[in-house]
C-alpha cells in the first residue's frame, strides 16, 4: 500500500519551522511496511490544497494530512476536505463535549471560535485529541483513506501512534520493515561505493543504501518481510557480507559512534586515556566525556593552544617546536607522550594541526593535521589533509584521532 503525507502550513513554506512531522510519520509508516512515495507541503489555501489532495488521492491509497485544523479562519483543512470529497460539514455534539471538558480542565472559558473544531465532514470518524482541542479525522472512500491530524507534534504524535498506525498496519497486511545501519569510518563515500556496488542492486526485499556524513559513511540495510525473524535473517546475510568486505573499517552499528565505541573498548580492556589537543580545542575530550561512565578512563585532558603551554604543561622540548614547528609529526608525538606522562594513563592521544581560516604557513596549508598515539611501548603518528570550514576540520581531525585509539584498542591485549 502507498501512503502520501501532506503537510499544511505557511510556517513550513516560509522555513520558520522544520517539517519534523513528516519525518516522524514517515518512520512510523516504514515500520509497518507502508511505502511513502510523496511528501507534499502546501499552505492554507483552498485551491492549492484541493488540487494537492486530489493528486494524492489519484496516486496513493492513504493520504495523511497534518495541520490547518485550528480554530481560526486561516485553518481550512476540514472545509477543503469536505469540498474535495463532496460532503457537507456537520456539527458533532461529542466533539463539542470534549472541547468543553478540555477548557474546563484548564479552568479557561472557551472562546466561541473554538467550536468551529466541532464540525466534521459527514461520514467521517473523529479521533480524540487529549492534548489540544482539534480532533483527528478519518474518512474512508471506497479503497482509499483520507486522514487529517493536528499540526502541533505533541498533539499529532499520540494520535498517530494510538489510532493511525494500528489501523494502517491491519490494512496493509501486517508486514514490517526492519533496518540496520553499519557505520564505516576512514574511507571516502566513493571508496565505499566501489566495494558495495553489487549490494546496492539487491532489492526489492532487502535493500542497501549509502549515506555519507563528514568522516563517516553509513550503509543502511533494510528488509521488508512478513515477520521480524524473516527480516532479521535477510539483514544478517547482507550485514556479514559487508563486515567481511570492510573489516576494521566498520566502526559499529545503529546508534554507535566513534566515541561510544572507544569508550566501550577502554572499559572492556581496562585502559585509561589522556588527550592533548591543539587544533581540535577540546572537541575530542568533549566527545569522549559525552559517554556515560567516561570517568572510568578519563583522568585529565589538556588543550595546549600556544607553544609555551605545550612545553610547560606537556614537556614538549622547545627545540622540537623551533626546528619542526608546532604542527609537525615530532611535536604531535611528543604531545601524546607528554600527556600520557602528565595524567599517568595507559594511552596518550594527541592532535596538532591548522583548523583555519587563518594560520597557514609555507608548506603547511589550512587542513593539515597530525594525530598521534603513545603507549608505554610505542608511538605512532599520522598525517592528514582535511577540507571544509574550521569546525569541519576540527571534527575530521577528532574522528581520525578517535579512530586511531579505536584501532589500537581493538588489537590491545
220-239 binders of its own copies (CB under 8 A): 220, 222
Strands 347-353, 273-277: pairing is: parallel
Identify which of residues 139 and 370 has a Cβ nearer to its own copies in the complex: 370
Q: Say which residue the cell 469540498 belongs to.
A: 83
SS3 for 342-363, per residue? HHCCCEEEEEEECCCCCCCECC
Q: Is 204 in the site for its own copies (CB under 8 A)?
A: no
Q: Which three cell numbers stand for residue 92?
A: 458533532
Q: Is 141 in the site for its own copies (CB under 8 A)?
A: no
**Residues 333-362 as x/- pattern, contact with its own copies by CB under 8 A:** ---------xx-----------xxxxx---
Identify which of residues 74 and 94 has a Cβ nearer to its own copies in the complex: 74
Identify which of residues 92 and 289 has a Cβ nearer to its own copies in the complex: 289
Determine the size of the site formed for its own copies (CB under 8 A): 109
In whole angstroms, what is the distance from residue 331 CA to residue 310 CA?
9
Instruction: Return the range that interacts with its own copies (CB under 8 A); candidates 90-98, 231-239, 244-252, 296-304.
Output: 296-304
Strands 216-225, 206-213: pairing is: antiparallel
Instruction: Identify which of 381, 378, 348, 379 has the alpha carbon closest to the alpha carbon of residue 276.
Output: 348
Q: Is 142 in the site for its own copies (CB under 8 A)?
A: no
Among 32, 36, 127, 221, binds its own copies (CB under 8 A): 36
In whole angstroms, what is the distance from residue 352 CA to residue 347 CA?
17
Q: Is 202 in the site for its own copies (CB under 8 A)?
A: no
**Residues 307-326 as x/- pattern, contact with its own copies by CB under 8 A:** -xx---x-------------
108-127 binders of its own copies (CB under 8 A): 108, 110-111, 113-114
Among 250, 251, 288, 369, binds its own copies (CB under 8 A): 288
Task: Give CA separation, 214 vs 69, 186, 208, 284, 286, in Å.
Answer: 40, 10, 20, 15, 18
Q: Is 390 in the site for its own copies (CB under 8 A)?
A: yes
What is the distance of C-alpha 6 from the center of its chain? Answer: 22
Amino acid at each position: 500500500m502507498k501512503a502520501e503525507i501532506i503537510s499544511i502550513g505557511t510556517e513550513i513554506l516560509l522555513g520558520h519551522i522544520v517539517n519534523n512531522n513528516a519525518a516522524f510519520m514517515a518512520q512510523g509508516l516504514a515500520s509497518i511496511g507502508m511505502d511513502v512515495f510523496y511528501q507534499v507541503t502546501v499552505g492554507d489555501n483552498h485551491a492549492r490544497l484541493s488540487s494537492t489532495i486530489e493528486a494524492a488521492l489519484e496516486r496513493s491509497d492513504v493520504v495523511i494530512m497534518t495541520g490547518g485544523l485550528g480554530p481560526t479562519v486561516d485553518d481550512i483543512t476540514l472545509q477543503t476536505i469536505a469540498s474535495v470529497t463532496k460532503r457537507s460539514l456537520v456539527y458533532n455534539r461529542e466533539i463539542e463535549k470534549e472541547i468543553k471538558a478540555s477548557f474546563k480542565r484548564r479552568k479557561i472559558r472557551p472562546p466561541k471560535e473554538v467550536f468551529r473544531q466541532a464540525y466534521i465532514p459527514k461520514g467521517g470518524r473523529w479521533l480524540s485529541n487529549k492534548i489540544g482541542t482539534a480532533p483527528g479525522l478519518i474518512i474512508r472512500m471506497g479503497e482509499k483513506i483520507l486522514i487529517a491530524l493536528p499540526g502541533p507534534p505533541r498533539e499529532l504524535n499520540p494520535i498517530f501512534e494510538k489510532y493511525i498506525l494500528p489501523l494502517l498496519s491491519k490494512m496493509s497486511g501486517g508486514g514490517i520493515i526492519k533496518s540496520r545501519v553499519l557505520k564505516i569510518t576512514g574511507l571516502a563515500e566513493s571508496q565505499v561505493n566501489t566495494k558495495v556496488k553489487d549490494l546496492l542492486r539487491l532489492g526489492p526485499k532487502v535493500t542497501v543504501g549509502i549515506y555519507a556524513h563528514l568522516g563517516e559513511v553509513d550503509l543502511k540495510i533494510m528488509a521488508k518481510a512478513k515477520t521480524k525473524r524473516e527480516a532479521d535473517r535477510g539483514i544478517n546475510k547482507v550485514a556479514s557480507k559487508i563486515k567481511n568486505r570492510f573489516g576494521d573499517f566498520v566502526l559499529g552499528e545503529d546508534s554507535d559512534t566513534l566515541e561510544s565505541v572507544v569508550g566501550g573498548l577502554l572499559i572492556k580492556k581496562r585502559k585509561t586515556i589522556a588527550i592533548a589537543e591543539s587544533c581540535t580545542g577540546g572537541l575530542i575530550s568533549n566527545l569522549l566525556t559525552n559517554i556515560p561512565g567516561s570517568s572510568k578512563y578519563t583522568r585529565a585532558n589538556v588543550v595546549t593552544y600556544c607553544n609555551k603551554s605545550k612545553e610547560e604543561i606537556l614537556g614538549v622540548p622547545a627545540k622540537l617546536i623551533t626546528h619542526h614547528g608546532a604542527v609537525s609529526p615530532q611535536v604531535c608525538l611528543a604531545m601524546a607522550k607528554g600527556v600520557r606522562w602528565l595524567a599517568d594513563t595507559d594511552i596518550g592521544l594527541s592532535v596538532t594541526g591548522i583548523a583555519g581560516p587563518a594560520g597557514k604557513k609555507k608548506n603547511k596549508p589550512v587542513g593539515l593535521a597530525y594525530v598521534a598515539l603513545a603507549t608505554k611501548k610505542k608511538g605512532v603518528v599520522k598525517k592528514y589533509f582535511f577540507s571544509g570550514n574550521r569546525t569541519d576540520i576540527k571534527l575530521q581531525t577528532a574522528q581520525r584521532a578517535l579512530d586511531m585509539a579505536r584501532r589500537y584498542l581493538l588489537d590491545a591485549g
